[in-house]
Amino acid sequence: MQCPECKSTHIRQNGNRRGKQNHICVDCGRQFIDDYTALRGYSDEVKRECLKMYVNGMGFRAIERVKGVHHTTVINWVRQVGELLPDAYDPQTTPEVGQLDVACFP
Ligand SMILES: [Zn+2]
């Protein structure tokens, strides 16, 4: 867990907001919920590296282990990039999370 503002890992739990765990950064005071980092907390550099790994044939679980980015986050990035690059993207080939689990952990 990283602060989306200053990237500090000095995070404290800060109660619940609408059923989601709220966190507060001790260093800068930024408050955020769990899935904030899952969607937009990573830098473009991390995103690019993960996408490069995916393009080079690494599985989502492998990327998760190497980069510490949750595999569903990487899948979302792949989908986002796919929408930007329709010529190189076939939505039929994007596997569902459940299928990935089976594929990566036989
Ligand atoms: Zn912070």
CA distance 40 to 26: 20
Q: Cα-flanking dihedrals φ and ψ of residue 38, to 5°?
A: -65, -30
DSSP 41-66: -S-HHHHHHHHHHHHTT--HHHHHHH
Ligand 1 centroid distance, CA of 10 (Å): 8
Q: What is the pLDDT of residue 64?
A: 94
Q: What is the tens place of the pLDDT at every residue in 32-77?
A: 876 544 455 688 889 999 999 998 999 999 999 999 999 999 998 8
Predicted confidence (pLDDT) per residue in 73-101, tens digit? 999 888 887 766 555 545 555 555 554 54
Q: Rounded to the nearest whole angstrom, what is the distance from the C-alpha of residue 57 to the centroid of ligand 1?
A: 34
Ion ligand 1 nearby residues (CB, 5 A): 3, 5-6, 8, 25, 27-28, 30
pLDDT tens digits, one per residue of 2-21? 888 899 999 998 888 677 78
